[in-house]
Amino acid sequence: MNYRNDIRNVAIIAHVDHGKTTLVDELLKQSTTLNARTQLQERAMDSNALEQERGITILAKNTAVDYNGTRINILDTPGHADFGGEVERIMKMVDGVVLVVDAYEGTMPQTRFVLKKALEQNVVPIVVVNKIDKPSARPEHVVDEVLELFIELGADDEQLDFPVIYASALNGTSSLSDNPADQTETMAPIFDTIVEHIPAPVDNSDEPLQFQVSLLDYNDYVGRIGIGRVFRGTIRVGDQVALMKLDGSVKRFRVTKIFGFFGLQREEIQEAKAGDLIAVSGMEDIFVGETVTPFDHQDALPILHIDEPTLQMTFLVNNSPFAGREGKWVTSRKIEERLMAELQTDVSLRVDALGPDSWIVSGRGELHLSILIENMRREGFELQVSRPEVIEREIDGVKCEPFERVQIDTPEEYMGSIIESLGTRKAEMQDMIHTGNGQVRIIFLAPARGLIGYTTEFLSMTRGYGIMHHTFDQYLPMIKGQLGGRHNGALVSIDTGKATTYSIMSIEERGTVFVEPTTEVYEGMIIGENSRDNDLTVNITKAKQMTNVRSANKDQTSVIKRPKKLTLEESLEFLNDDEYCEVTPENIRLRKQILNKNEREKSQKKRK
C-alpha cells in the first residue's frame, strides 16, 4: 500500500479552557507557515466575537502548517458538550488526535466526552499535558488519570501506548520530560511526535473519487460550502460529479471551486487528492454526511451520526408594549429567515414552526441555544423566548428523558448542602473523590430537567468557590413529578412608566430588585424576585408626594442597594412556565405571558 508521507491529519481535543486554541496559535507561530510580517492576535483561531469574549471555541476551525516538508492539517475543536456534534464528525476526517489536558485539573467531564468520540473512531492518540508552568501542576498524577480514563473507555493496547509531551502553550515551551525546569522554547517535540506517531493517509488517488462532507460553511457569494476529506481518488475543478444525498437520491453537479487550507487562509486550488482536507463549492443543498463520487461509480460512505437535540425553547415575535423600539429586525419573516440561515451551518439545531409568529427551536443544551439568541440580539433582532424544556422520547414503549453526568469540584465544607440540593432534584451520586487541599470531587447522574436553573443556586451555595460541569449521558425512564425550577415568586410591575428611587426603597424589603431608578417598565414586566414563593404585583413608578411642610429629618439621602443585573443565561434560568424573556439589542427584560394582573389571576384559577 502506498502512503502520502508528506501529510498528517490531526484534531486537537480537550475539555473547555485547557488550552487547545492557544496551543494551535503556538503551532502556527513556530511552523514555517506564516511569513514574518503576519501579526497573530491572541487565540487567532477563535474568529467570532462571542468566541473572543467568552474564551471558548464554538465552531470547529481548520488550519494547516508546514513542518520540515510535512503538511500538518490541524482541526481545533470545541470543548463544550453542547457542540459535541462537531467533535464527532471531525474524528472521521483525521487519523490522529492530540488530547490536551491541564497539568493541574487533570481529566474533566468533557475530556472524557471528546476522548470517547476519538477512541470510537480508532484514531491514534497523543497526550499533551499543558500548563506545566503552573505552581500547582501535578503532571505524574494527571498522566495516571489519563491512563485510567483510557482503560475505562475500553482503549486497546496500541491506543494505551500513547506518547506524552509536557508543554506550556502560553509561554510557547515544551519538552518530553515532566520536570518544568526542562522546558525549552520550541514546539518541535509536539511536531516530531505528530509526524512519527500519527499514520500518514493512504494514497489511493488513482481509484474512483470519494469525498465526504463533515462541516458546513456559508458564504453570500458562493452559497453553501462543504468542508470534508477526500477519502479516495482525486477531485478537480470542473469535474461533473454525483452528490449522494442522505435520503438516497442522487444529484448531479459541477465542482466550481476547491479551497485548500493554509495558515489562517483559504486558498483556491485546482485539484485535491486522497488524504487532503478541502472545502468545495458549487452545490446548493449539500448537507453533512453526504458523499461526492463519480457519476459512473456511485459508492457512498457510511452516513455520519449527528447527535439529537435534548433541549427546546419557543421563539416568538416580540409583542411587548416596548416592541419595535430598539431592534432593527422585528418581523416574523426576518426572524424565520435568520433561523433558516442558522440551519445552513448548524446541523444539531432543529426549527419547527408553531404558528405564523412562533417556532420551536431545539438544540444540544442551554449554551447552544443561548449563543444563538445572543448572536441574533447583536445582529439587531428583537424576539421573545420561553423557558427551556427537555425533549422527551419514547424508547421501547417507555417515556424517557435526557440525563446528564455532573462533575462538581468544591471545598469540603459545601459538600453536604450540594448533595442535599441535588438530591431534591433527583440526582444520584455515583462517585466521590477527595482531591487533597480540602477539595472534593463528586460525580452525579442527574435528569437534565432538574439541572435547568441550578447554576445560580449552586454558585450562591458554594459562594462562588464551586465548579460544575455537566455533559449529556443518556436517555433514561422519566422521573415523575416536578423537578427543580425556581422556588421564589416574581415581583411584577402593575404600572407603565419609569422606576423611581422612592418606590424601589419600599420594595427592597420584599425581595431582590433587578432594575435601576429611571428604567422604563411596563405593566406585567418582572422587576425583581420575591423573597416568598408567590408572585407579588408592586408599583415601582410611584413618586414621593411633594408638600410645602418641612420636617426636621428632611433631605436624608436615599440609599438603595445595587440592583441585581441578570445576564442572558441567568434570565433564561430564572424563567417559569408562565413567563417570557424579551431580548432586544439593548435590553434583556423578563415579563409575564399575560401582562394584565386581573386576566393573569383568572387564568391561574382556571388552571387550578
Binding-site members for GTP are 17-22, 130-133
Residue 225 exposed, middle or buried by CB count within 10 Å (0-12, 13-18, 19+): buried
Angle (CA) 120-126-128 rounded to 5° is 125
Distance CA 254, CA 263 (A): 28
**590 residue type, one letter:** L
Please give the annotated binding residues, written as ranges.
17-22, 130-133
Helices (H), 99-200: 109-120, 139-152, 157-160, 188-197
Quote helix, strand, coil % in the chain, to nearest 5: 25, 35, 40
Nearest to 237 by CA among 287, 278, 284, 272: 272
How many Cβ atoms sit within 10 Å of the Cβ of residue 585?
Answer: 15
Q: Sign of dihedral through CA atoms 596, 602, 607, 608?
A: positive
Q: What is the DSSP string of 44-65?
A: TT--SHHHHHHT---S-EEEEE
77-112: buried (b, 16+ CB within 10 Å) or exposed (e) per residue?
bbbbbbbbbbbbbbbbbbbbbbbbbbbbbbbbbbbb
Strands 428-436 and 439-447: antiparallel
Nearest to 352 by CA among 398, 391, 305, 402: 391
Nearest to 561 by CA among 487, 521, 510, 489: 510
Per the CB < 8 A criterion, the answer to whether 368 and 83 are in contact is: yes
User: What nine digits make up the cell of 510?
Assistant: 420584599
Per the CB < 8 A criterion, the answer to whether 458 and 469 are in contact is: no
Question: What is the chain's length?
Answer: 608
223: left (phi over 0), alpha (psi -120 to 50) or beta: left
